[in-house]
Amino acid sequence: MTASSVLDTERLGPVRPFAALVDLKVPGGPDGEAIRRLEARFPGIPLVAITANPSSAPAHCRTVFQKPFDTGALLDAVEKLHGERLPHP
Q: What is the pLDDT of residues 4-61, one digit of tens each?
A: 777 777 777 777 888 999 998 888 888 888 888 888 888 999 999 999 988 888 888 9
The predicted model gives 83-89 an average pLDDT of: 69
Residue 13: give the domain boundaries: 7-84
Q: Is residue 1 part of a domain?
A: no
pTM of structure: 0.79
Q: Is residue 89 part of a domain?
A: no
Which residues share a beta bridge with 20?
Answer: 47
Q: Residue 31's domain is classified under what CATH number?
A: 3.40.50.2300
- In this prediction, residue 29 carries a pLDDT of 83
- In this prediction, residue 89 carries a pLDDT of 54
Domain count, the chain: 1
Is residue 59 a contact partner of residue 84, using CB atoms and an 8 Å limit?
Answer: no
pLDDT band at residue 86 using 50, 70 and 90 as cut-offs: low
- In this prediction, residue 50 carries a pLDDT of 92
How far from the centroid of its chain's Cα atoms is residue 15's Cα?
15
